[in-house]
Homo-oligomer: A and B are copies of this chain.
């Protein structure tokens, strides 16, 4: 009855449940995403191997990523892509790179940020945001008040800074889970957002 076509390449080192075997609440969410994106991202299916952890994972994700913020949705994805680049996490770079391209309607930006945010086509403010995120991702024990001060100069509020740091922290978890279980990105993500629809390109 499931419409999900699990690729021949394994998408996890662990058993992956079929949509039918997934608890009702998680299945509802997956079907909703499938409706919208046309497929179920592998992060749902692979983490659903442990429903309780899976629920908490997406509750945390939504609390951070869907929250009203001084950051745009695109900026939040920039943080995900940059820090996932630092952690060499294939799943998150590919999947969130796609989302970033879609949100920003900018086909080049994800590859740029995944490799080196210093050279991306983004603002100085956004580069400062990513510098802080990278510090949280890689040497968080050295964060000092001066790091907060630097962001405030760019107009970020303290709540914005929490968002930046907390997204970097959450994807520190996400990257490690993906790397540990060998989570494979859906093939669909690689091309998504790379070709602008006419309406977008005109804008």
Contact = CB atoms under 8 A, between A and B. Distances in A.
Interface of A: 9, 13-14, 49-50, 52-53, 55-57, 59-60, 63-64, 67, 85, 87-90, 93-94, 107-108, 111-112, 114-116, 118-119, 121, 136-137, 140-145, 148, 158, 162, 165-166, 168-170, 172-177, 179-182, 184, 187, 190-191, 194-195
Contacts of A194: 190-191, 194
A123 to B, nearest CB: 14
Nearest to A85: B115
Nearest to A93: B115
A117 to B, nearest CB: 10
Given A162-B14, A190-B194, A140 B179 contact: yes
A87 B166 CA distance: 16
Nearest 3 Cβ contacts at the A-B interface: A88-B141, A56-B60, A169-B176
A94 B141 CA distance: 15
Nearest to A158: B14
Given A111-B94, A115-B90, A172-B172, A180 B140 contact: yes
Contact of A87 (B87, B141, B174, B180): B141
B169 A180 contact: yes
A138 B148 CA distance: 25
Contacts of A148: 13
Given A89-B116, A190-B194, 8 more contacts: A53-B166, A88-B116, A89-B141, A90-B111, A115-B141, A116-B141, A172-B176, A191-B194
Contacts of A88: 115-116, 141
A138 to B, nearest CB: 10
